[in-house]
Chain A
């Protein structure tokens, strides 16, 4: 029976991700697009723990675990080591969370992209340090509760804007940059397939909702991910060899639809939600402008 995404599974059941984990879906889709000749490098993150305890392994491709900051360097070494043996056709993929990408791993990511290795860097973005218990990262959106930006009496939710690493990658001139959402696996698979045809560094940021960290019913992971795109708070775009294109959802919803589905935003009043809507609209307009250039 034809399926809309590749049929072959390269991930086994029996992993220890939370029920409804967006990051588990992200890995599953990425591997389907990559195929079996793939090496995956994973830093400290949820995915370092999801495969469970030794001697169990969850992926049907080699999985290299590294310390937190090392993903960019690790994929560089994997690439050069494989190439030194004439194994250029193997995909080398870094698969890191937002913590390991936007914060502690930013240096090695930027350098690996700048050096131009033929590698993939996939950032699965669950918008906080989820593995260590929901602490904020620079990728946490404005307004979110986290354990280090708790609401409390002073309403100390995250006041800083989300730092979008994909934007930084575009600014650096990485040959292929895209954002994706686990609600649209066909789009994600297509983006990876297109990127595979480009020789050089490729960066994809995948919004991966987290039931415990975002505080919503695990059954709604795909819905929340869809609302993020439809409300335009997480625009899907593609930057391919200098050309920028923005996906315009046919159905557009107010950002409050997205925020109201998640407990991490439950403390926000109408004024604060209005602020968020304005910021969403502003960013959307600037991305439209960028596309026009």
Chain B
């Protein structure tokens, strides 16, 4: 329910992301257009030229340059933002490692789109799943409200002085990016107050000239630097839990923290989902509950850091769990399955099945979710590609 005291607007996910950047008072935006991210960038350019947003806009010539210029502007100590998708994310892969390795709390919105070849512009999370090793934190949004909120929230987590790792927030292509929903626009002053200014202790300073990203020998602290990244990402879990409470209180919001448990209290079977597909999954859970079936849904909000404890607690009493992933990883089980399995391995033994869905934007329907739950009853292991064949 929308409170009558807050300003709410019908807007697409892309627009919501643009407002998120505006409310976070970013000072530099640098982006290269790629469908379906283009509206984020266009909306920001619009707001800047109408003096609704005070930021520098760099119209870069490639995504690699978008991330490189954001890296540099963050190093000067200003909050910076970019957005991309699919091929663009792949193109900037090298720079993603660089930004995380330099411990810069940049934020990027990603519209999840399939990876070519062949060309496909529709919803598919492979592009960001492919980046899970880069040191970037990852949020997958279910709604346009989350698309806006996760940017303000994302900067808060990223800029925490014990975290200092960048974050990307995801919107499914077209399903969120180009679909309109009511979104509450957070109050500008409250947002500015909540975030404050970026204070980067090691930003460039000609009074204390330093080298950023120089050569580190094997016996130098290279390994320790990488371990520090790992430790910071691990420690971010607690920061996320604490900040979620504060964010929800400050903004009267409903961010779920690391994970959302939906109708899980007495569930026998559950599915694990990420992103916009979760709405259809929840609808199906409610439908099956009305039919007397004891089912539930676990929705990951954060994928990195991976909420292993939360998953463990959610699935421990289940008779079976289905991991529903909208991405492809060749040569083994799906990425999300591997992350879940490693959380449970050696601790609890719950039958788990890997479902690959919606690749290249294929619709994930209520009947698909019903079949997935049925599948857990029959054969509760292995991997199944849902709604394929016969094309």
Asked if A82 is at the interface (CB within 8 A of a chain B CB), the reply is yes
From A58, A62, A82, A85, residue with most partner B Cβ within 10 Å:
A62
Asked if B265 is at the interface (CB within 8 A of a chain A CB), the reply is no
Partner of A81, one of B60, B75, B206: B75
CA distance A147 to B113 in the complex (A): 42
- Asked if residues B212 and A70 are in contact (CB atoms below 8 Å), the reply is no
A-B pairs with beta carbons under 8 Å apart, 20 shown? A48-B214, A54-B211, A58-B211, A63-B210, A63-B214, A64-B75, A64-B204, A65-B213, A67-B94, A73-B30, A73-B62, A73-B68, A73-B69, A74-B68, A77-B28, A77-B80, A81-B56, A87-B76, A90-B206, A108-B64
Partner of A65, one of B78, B95, B214, B221: B214
- Asked if residues B56 and A70 are in contact (CB atoms below 8 Å), the reply is no
CA distance A59 to B95 in the complex (A): 24
List A contacts of B76 (CB < 8 A). Answer: 39, 77-78, 81-82, 84-85, 87
CA distance A232 to B205 in the complex (A): 42
Asked if A201 is at the interface (CB within 8 A of a chain B CB), the reply is no
List A contacts of B75 (CB < 8 A). Answer: 64, 77-78, 81
Asked if B2 is at the interface (CB within 8 A of a chain A CB), the reply is no
Query: Number of B interface residues, CB 8 Å?
Result: 42
Asked if B188 is at the interface (CB within 8 A of a chain A CB), the reply is no
- Asked if residues A66 and B68 are in contact (CB atoms below 8 Å), the reply is yes
- Asked if residues B56 and A108 are in contact (CB atoms below 8 Å), the reply is no
Partner of A63, one of B73, B211, B217: B211
- Asked if residues B73 and A81 are in contact (CB atoms below 8 Å), the reply is yes
Asked if B209 is at the interface (CB within 8 A of a chain A CB), the reply is yes
Partner of B209, one of A49, A52, A60, A73: A60
Asked if A235 is at the interface (CB within 8 A of a chain B CB), the reply is no
Asked if B384 is at the interface (CB within 8 A of a chain A CB), the reply is no
Asked if B17 is at the interface (CB within 8 A of a chain A CB), the reply is no
Partner of B212, one of A52, A58, A62, A72: A62
Asked if A61 is at the interface (CB within 8 A of a chain B CB), the reply is yes
List A contacts of B6 (CB < 8 A). Answer: none
B198 to chain A, nearest CB (A): 11
Q: What mask results when residues 28 to 59 of chain B are scored 1 for a CB within 8 Å of chain A, else 0?
A: 10100000000000000000000000011011
Partner of B215, one of A48, A59, A78: A48
List A contacts of B209 (CB < 8 A). Answer: 57, 59-63
- Asked if residues A108 and B68 are in contact (CB atoms below 8 Å), the reply is yes
- Asked if residues B214 and A51 are in contact (CB atoms below 8 Å), the reply is yes
List B contacts of A84 (CB < 8 A). Answer: 27-28, 55-56, 73, 76, 78
Contacts A66-B213, A84-B27, A84-B28 hold; do A41 and B60 have CB atoms under 8 A apart? no
CA distance A221 to B69 in the complex (A): 35
Contacts A57-B209, A69-B64 hold; do A80 and B58 have CB atoms under 8 A apart? yes
Contacts A65-B212, A69-B64 hold; do A83 and B71 have CB atoms under 8 A apart? no
CA distance A65 to B209 in the complex (A): 13
List A contacts of B216 (CB < 8 A). Answer: 53-54
| Additional pairs, 5, CB under 8 Å, beyond known A70-B71, A111-B65 | A53-B217, A62-B206, A76-B30, A76-B69, A84-B76
Contacts A39-B204, A75-B72 hold; do A81 and B220 have CB atoms under 8 A apart? no
CA distance A84 to B28 in the complex (A): 8
Segment 215-265 of B: residues with Cβ below 8 Å from A: 215-217, 220-221
Contacts A61-B206, A70-B95, A74-B68 hold; do A54 and B58 have CB atoms under 8 A apart? no
List B contacts of A64 (CB < 8 A). Answer: 72, 75, 204, 212-213
Asked if B325 is at the interface (CB within 8 A of a chain A CB), the reply is no
Asked if A37 is at the interface (CB within 8 A of a chain B CB), the reply is yes
- Asked if residues B221 and A54 are in contact (CB atoms below 8 Å), the reply is yes
A171 to chain B, nearest CB (A): 17
List B contacts of A74 (CB < 8 A). Answer: 68-69, 71-72
CA distance A51 to B214 in the complex (A): 8
Contacts A65-B212, A81-B74 hold; do A73 and B56 have CB atoms under 8 A apart? no
- Asked if residues A77 and B71 are in contact (CB atoms below 8 Å), the reply is yes
